[in-house]
Structure 1
Amino acid sequence: MIRNNSLFSSIGIDSMGFYAPRSYIKLRDLAIERKVDPNKYKMGLMALEMRVPEINEDVISLGLKAGYQALLKGEIDPKSIDALFVGTETMTYAVKSISNIFAELLGISPNSFCQDVYNACAGGTLALLNAIALVEKDIIKKALVISTDISSYTLGSPSEPTQGSGAVALVISKNPRVAVFSEKFGKVSGNVDDFFRPANDKNAQVFGHYSVDTYLDFQLKAYDDLIRNIGDFHADFYTFHAPFSKLPIKCMQQIIQKRWIKHINNLPRLNRNQITTSILKKLDAFMHDITVLPEWLYLKLKERGYTSEALESVSYKLIRNVKGKVLPQLRVPSHFGNMYNASIWAQILYILEEYSRV
């Protein structure tokens, strides 16, 4: 939802589907069971619930239901799908592609490309880029991209409250009915030892503080690369991968502090009619411990001649931007938990369904 229409291609999302397990754990109950202050999860992680798969559910069953929803809602003939790509980090088989399983169960044409993209959190997006490239070159007409994952950590570990599960399916084509993609992207990659899952172990291992620092560093680098490619921009919403909901807030704070502050007086005004007031009221509680302008920044601006009234106005403006542009979609990870590859696309799906305009 960037406002420069010249950036957009003719390729995008023609239909979409979502599925998550029905079972969930209230993190307040988990906190009490673990003898932890519930506010550590509610305020520290901005997490309320996490979805837990049933004993008979796995990433195949989750992704299958999301894929079926995408085809059904868009009234799309499965035989018209030329490629089926899967993004996941929940490996089911050592070498067998689960995209082929989806293709058979969904009735996709046998004359189609099938591929799994295994990558921590980025596999779904990389699979989507594969689909965009093939559609752009007219090698295929339509692709079904399924991002499906189950996030699992050792019981009682610090990462336990950041589990979750879910799947998103997107049908990609030219002249789509839902949304179009940009022709340019920001990108960054690196070899970082912050997160891994040992072979034959369903539980991932993560180095918490180091992983958070890495997340923030890479998000800022990707943002900078995007700016280099498309120039300064203002979007209606800013959506980030969310291992837990507080991280995108930290990411937005970083962008504001390190990149936006030089344009402080030119921040776009929010159209309040676009944002449901009740949602913001419910989320206000999450904002009381979030200082968008840290003390060092206050002092720096004061040195530049900002009065106390001006500083208060700046702080208010920034907080309103964060609330309106980042918080609404964070209802998804706060209630479903970490869906790994499906995380960012579930938030985008939520935005498209709740706020898109024709």
Structure 2
Amino acid sequence: MNVGIVSYGAYIPRFRIKIEEISKVWGDNANSIAEGLMVFEKSVPDIDEDAITIAVEAARHAINRADVDPERIEAIFTGSESHPYAVKPTSTVVAEAVGATPNLTAADFQFACKAGTAAVQACIGMADSGMIDLGLAIGSDVSQGAPGDALEYTAAAGGVAYIIGKDKLIARIESTYSYTTDTPDFWRREGMPYPEHGGRFTGEPAYFKHVTSAASTLMKKMGTKPSDYNYAIFHQPNGKFPTRVAKILGFSSEQIKPGLVVPRLGNTYSGSCMMGLAATLDIAKPGDRILMTAFGSGAGSDAFSISVTDRIEEIRNGAPSVEQLLANPIYIDYAKYAKHKGKIKL
């Protein structure tokens, strides 16, 4: 494919809550939970933030990072589990906010935590075929977890945007491959405020089967092996799963370390894997190769082989890095967290 990433941008809310703050309310062992999940704090949206505002901020950072003319963007796809409207697209609001031309196609994607990478694949196909000049693919979530549920320790907020095209690439997408089955490990029915999950079933046969199948098949298809990559990113519902799947596939802890942001961020759902890629691009050098594999419950995985170009050095400092966005957090207690997340009903 003669297509790749033209620019990228991320956004993470400043508010955080520590795992021990949540555990105090529910009487759980904070150290046991934090060490078991490998998550120690998570981001929390401000009262006036949602998946749309987060998507807009990430998109603006992507546009500003490489000084992209927004009128060149001819497709916008936003993946999320928490679109604020059941019937009203997120992507049209993003288009208006960033100054894109109305001569574009837009749609919202939903496939649990891989809706963002599904949007990337759609933009890849359209840009590579010549249907569009540039495409904007976004993964954005203010993910939900019921009070007292295990998800409450990891469900976070954040978003990432990638501009996909054929010219002035900072990273070339060498190939992509998906593996998908009907595995109902996680779901939220219409009208229900919080998702439900199948407990340990979400690991096997959901996460590990799909991630290993997509990643190994892509490498087989390309004739590559783990040692051919400088970095690897796997979907991060917690710190434990990506660390384990990396070992299964033959990747080292050094290869996944730059992109493993979940311990300080939590699970940003549709933005999770894409946030790890953004953190890796923040420090990658020209010629580096990256393997990224997303996972979405329900279930499926999208794997990508990516090669970084010389242009990365030119645009890297044009927008905040993931590390900068994680810095200087504002910590809140459970009461403020519940208010910010709308868990208190009047």
TM-score range, shorter chain: 0.7 to 0.9
Q: How do residues 120-131 of structure 1 correspond to structure 2 at under 5 angstroms?
A: 120-131=112-123
Q: How do residues 37-56 of structure 1 correspond to structure 2 at under 5 angstroms?
A: 37-56=29-48
- SS in structure 1 opposite 2:125? helix
Offset from partner CA, 1:82-124 (integer Å, 9 cap, x none): 1111111213222322111111121110111111111111211
Q: How do residues 21-170 of structure 1 correspond to structure 2 at under 5 angstroms?
A: 21-170=13-162
Q: Once superposed, what is the RMSD of the aligned Cα atoms? A: 1.5
2-side partners of 1:41 and 1:169: how far apart? 31
Contact 1:132 1:172 in 2 (8 A): yes
Contact 1:66 1:167 in 2 (8 A): yes
The structure that is helix-richer by fraction is: 1
2-side partners of 1:177 and 1:254: how far apart? 32
- 1:255 aligns with one of 233, 249, 255: 249
Q: How much has 1:350 moved relative to structure 2?
A: 0.4
Query: Does structure 1 residue 200 correspond to structure 2 residue 187?
Result: no
Q: TM-score under structure 1 normalisation? A: 0.76
Q: TM-score under structure 2 normalisation? A: 0.78
1-side partners of 2:72 and 2:131: how far apart? 13
Q: Which residue of 1 aligns with 2:276?
A: 347
The structure that is strand-richer by fraction is: 2
Contact 2:7 2:162 in 1 (8 A): yes
Extract unaligned runs of 5+ from structure 2.
287-309, 311-346
Q: Which residue of 1 aligns with 2:235?
A: 241
Q: How much has 1:229 moved relative to structure 2?
A: 1.2
One-letter amino acid matched to 1:241: H
2-side partners of 1:201 and 1:50: how far apart? 23
One-letter amino acid matched to 2:178: K
- SS in structure 1 opposite 2:276? helix
1-side partners of 2:156 and 2:105: how far apart? 29
- SS in structure 1 opposite 2:161? strand
For the structure 1 residues 76 and 249, does the alpha-carbon distance in structure 2 shift closer, same or farther, using more than 3 Å as the test? same
2-side partners of 1:328 and 1:36: how far apart? 30
2-side partners of 1:32 and 1:92: how far apart? 30
Q: How much has 1:180 moved relative to structure 2?
A: 1.0
One-letter amino acid matched to 1:346: M
Extract unaligned runs of 5+ from structure 1.
1-8, 257-320
- SS in structure 1 opposite 2:179? coil
Contact 2:243 2:253 in 1 (8 A): no
- SS in structure 1 opposite 2:31? helix
- SS in structure 1 opposite 2:218? helix
Query: Does structure 1 residue 189 correspond to structure 2 residue 180?
Result: yes
**Number of equivalences:** 284
